[in-house]
């Protein structure tokens, strides 16, 4: 039984470190989604996200294709990391129940 508990505790430590790592990476990436608006024939981009209960539209401006693709990649990467982080949190809860 001690061996099983030690293995579960090691896995719990690993998952907690992974969770912290994901949260650090997520904090560095832009949140929300990209909104494209056509105003008087010009295309402008805004970053749309929630802050508490408010919707925020942060002006990004006109973007070149390269910058646009880069920003979209970062947003997609954040979404993937958030999904992984959510799964890690579920796994942590399961392990904590098993240990107790």
Per-residue pLDDT for the chain (100 aa), expressed as one digit of tens each? Answer: 788 888 999 999 999 999 999 999 999 999 899 999 998 998 899 999 999 899 999 998 888 889 999 999 999 999 999 999 999 999 999 999 988 8
Nearest to 49, CA basis, from 29, 67, 34: 34
Q: Are 39 and 95 in contact (CB under 8 A)?
A: no
DSSP 52: T
Q: What is the pTM of this model?
A: 0.81
Q: Which residues pair with 39 in a beta bridge?
A: 42
∠ CA(99), CA(21), CA(92), 5° rounding? 20
Residue 85: predicted pLDDT: 97
Interaxial angle between packed helices 65-99 and 2-28, expressed in degrees from 0 to 180 and rounded to the nearest 10: 160
């Amino acid at each position: 039984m001690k061996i099983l508990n030690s293995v579960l505790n090691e896995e719990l430590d690993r998952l907690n470190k992974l969770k912290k790592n994901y949260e650090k990476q997520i904090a560095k990436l832009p949140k929300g989604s990209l909104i494209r608006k056509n105003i008087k024939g010009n295309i402008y981009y805004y970053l749309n996200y929630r802050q508490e209960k408010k919707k925020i539209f942060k002006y990004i401006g006109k973007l070149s294709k390269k910058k646009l693709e880069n920003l979209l990649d970062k947003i997609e990467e954040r979404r993937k990391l958030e999904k992984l982080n959510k799964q890690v949190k579920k796994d942590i809860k399961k392990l904590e129940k098993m240990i107790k």
